[in-house]
Structure 1
Amino acid sequence: MFSIGAFASMGRVSVRMLRHYDKVGLLRPARVDEFSGYRYYEADQLRRLNRLIACKDLGFTLDEVKSILDESDADLAGLLRRREAELVDQITADQDRLVRVRARLQLIKAEDTAPAEAVTIEPLQPARVALARGVAASSDHEDVGPVISGLFGELFKAMGTVSPAGPAIATYRPLDGGSLEVQACFPIGSAEPVEVEVAELPGHPTAATYLHRGVMADIGLAYQVLAAWVEDAGHSTDGTAREVYLTSYPEPEEHWRTAVQLPVT
């Protein structure tokens, strides 16, 4: 048997916690000296301690832990795996939310300092492209990002041996109800890839263009600058947009260069 101090050391917990688990009936000592009151534990009790700590760290209350510890090892392992998956999903969602909050804060900071002079007017060139289509629930980066990345993944696989003839392009068109039509495109020139939709992206005589540098979560700044410029210049736009990925994968995203283009009249 082991003293409470030795057992705490082997179980990587504090003596105070072992006393608390004894008090609430989660982990009783194997023996308590009737004269000194010293608690003693057996090595096999580390199995119960490990399960107890795992449940606690996964967010179960002590009352829930009491019933969980009495389940079979197979049931317990399945329960812990499910809870682990839930926590991973929650952490991923929280990380995504943090990225969006930081991006929105950057937009707020840049509202009065956005360089409108960085907007240029140039023709929107037509392009023959292989494309994949999808719909995002909204224009929010949270909705658009997964759709466009998935479309480019599908398109890249479907292109086979045909190499793009220029930088990748994404186009966006607002739909009724607030959703967004999304197209992932690779310029292909005269090539004819198999099992891929091929279309001609229309040109436009004038497009307001802004060069965005950095991660796509911050792309809202480009649209903010362009919206202010379009309004100040007395132009109008139908809400469609084109993004040309001048520098993108496999470069680190912070080094990406994206030309954001709005057809204007």
Structure 2
Amino acid sequence: MFRIGEFSKLTQVSIRMLRYYDEAGILTPAEVDKWTGHRLYSVEQIPRLNKILYLRDSGLNVSEIALALTLDEQSLLAQLDKKRIEIENAIQAEREKLRKIELAKSEIQGGKGEPRYNISVKSIPAYQVLSLRKVVPNYYSEGDLWEELSAFTGAQKIEITGNTFSIYHDTEFRETDVDIELCAPVKKMGTAKDPFCFRMTEPVPYMACTMVYGDFANIKGAYLAFAEWLQKNSEYKMSNPMRQIVHRGPWNESNPEKYLIELQIPLKQT
């Protein structure tokens, strides 16, 4: 048996943390000397302590560690996968904050160097498409939908005949539970297999369109251009649903400065 100071030195874990783990009930001493009250630890407890440490270093809090220590291997792996996704989402959120800081700096400096957006109105025909429509946690989840659609078209050997595009069915901007439909133009209709279906998209007689060059952060400026254009062209009102075509994006262009996105807002005449 080792006294707490000795165990601390051998495991390279501070006495403060060992006492904390004892209070939390995840690593209690093997014995407590009834005469001195000293905490005594055994060598057999070191593997459990090491497990606590790697779970802590993986981002789990004490309550999550307590649960993890009771799980079998498969359940523990599932919990770690859940924590990984949680951390990835947190990183994405922090990256979005950094992007917004740069946007704020740009606005403070008077929008110097901001790109210009040319708005044009065109007629969009109906398209025969393979469709995947889901309500997803947020707009960042669209990438997961594209991976799902790509895997399906590859497995089913479905030939895509034109530019794929996204349709955003919500009538307002949403922070969560976003209704997104991915559309891939195809030569012929196939057999539907949930959640995929084949359908004809609706034609749009008047669609306001603009091209966005560069990083996705530039999309904000494009929507401002739409707002200014709509105010000047009062014979039109914006309608729904909006569309987006990523001609060049993360999957076919490594340099964000060379991304090319087309935004489309349906119009109705007043």
Residue 162 and residue 42 in structure 1: after superposition, are their counterparts in 2 closer, same or farther (change >3 A)? closer
SS at match of 2:263: strand
Query: Aligned partners of 1:9, 1:198: CA distance in 2, in Å?
Result: 68
Give the corresponding residue for 2:261: 258
Give the corresponding residue for 1:153: 148
Count of residues in Structure 1 that have an aligned counterpart in Structure 2 = 250
Unaligned runs of 5+ in 1: none
Query: Aligned partners of 1:182, 1:171: CA distance in 2, in Å?
Result: 6
Q: 1:260 offset after TM fit, Å? A: 0.9
Q: Is the 8 A contact 2:120 2:208 kept in 1?
A: yes
Give the corresponding residue for 1:243: 244
Give the corresponding residue for 2:194: none
SS at match of 1:90: helix
Residue 149 and residue 256 in structure 1: after superposition, are their counterparts in 2 closer, same or farther (change >3 A)? farther
Q: 1:76 offset after TM fit, Å? A: 7.7
Unaligned runs of 5+ in 2: 192-196
Residue 144 and residue 2 in structure 1: after superposition, are their counterparts in 2 closer, same or farther (change >3 A)? closer
Query: Aligned partners of 1:200, 1:24: CA distance in 2, in Å?
Result: 58
Give the corresponding residue for 1:129: 128
Query: Aligned partners of 1:12, 1:236: CA distance in 2, in Å?
Result: 67
Q: Is the 8 A contact 1:134 1:183 kept in 2?
A: yes
Query: Aligned partners of 1:122, 1:243: CA distance in 2, in Å?
Result: 15
Residue 109 and residue 241 in structure 1: after superposition, are their counterparts in 2 closer, same or farther (change >3 A)? farther
Give the corresponding residue for 1:222: 222
Q: Is the 8 A contact 1:133 1:181 kept in 2?
A: no
What pairs up with 1:125-204 in 2 under 5 angstroms? 125-126=124-125, 128-134=127-133, 136=135, 143-146=138-141, 149-150=144-145, 153-154=148-149, 157-158=152-153, 160-175=156-171, 182-188=180-186, 191-195=187-191, 196-204=197-205
Name the amino acid aligned to 1:230.
L
Query: Aligned partners of 2:97, 2:238: CA distance in 1, in Å?
Result: 28
Q: 1:253 offset after TM fit, Å? A: 7.7
Q: Is the 8 A contact 1:107 1:220 kept in 2?
A: no
Q: 1:120 offset after TM fit, Å? A: 3.2
Residue 232 and residue 156 in structure 1: after superposition, are their counterparts in 2 closer, same or farther (change >3 A)? farther
Query: Aligned partners of 1:20, 1:173: CA distance in 2, in Å?
Result: 51
Q: Is the 8 A contact 1:131 1:183 kept in 2?
A: no
* Bigger CA radius of gyration: 1
Query: Aligned partners of 1:214, 1:128: CA distance in 2, in Å?
Result: 28
Give the corresponding residue for 1:43: 43
Give the corresponding residue for 1:210: 211
Query: Aligned partners of 2:157, 2:28: CA distance in 1, in Å?
Result: 63
Query: Aligned partners of 2:139, 2:52: CA distance in 1, in Å?
Result: 42
Structure 1 vs Structure 2: percent identity of aligned residues? 20
Q: 1:59 offset after TM fit, Å? A: 1.9
Q: 1:176 offset after TM fit, Å? A: 9.3
Q: 1:239 offset after TM fit, Å? A: 3.8
Q: Is the 8 A contact 2:243 2:265 kept in 1?
A: yes
Give the corresponding residue for 2:62: 60
TM-score, normalised to structure 2's length? 0.63
Query: Aligned partners of 1:205, 1:120: CA distance in 2, in Å?
Result: 12
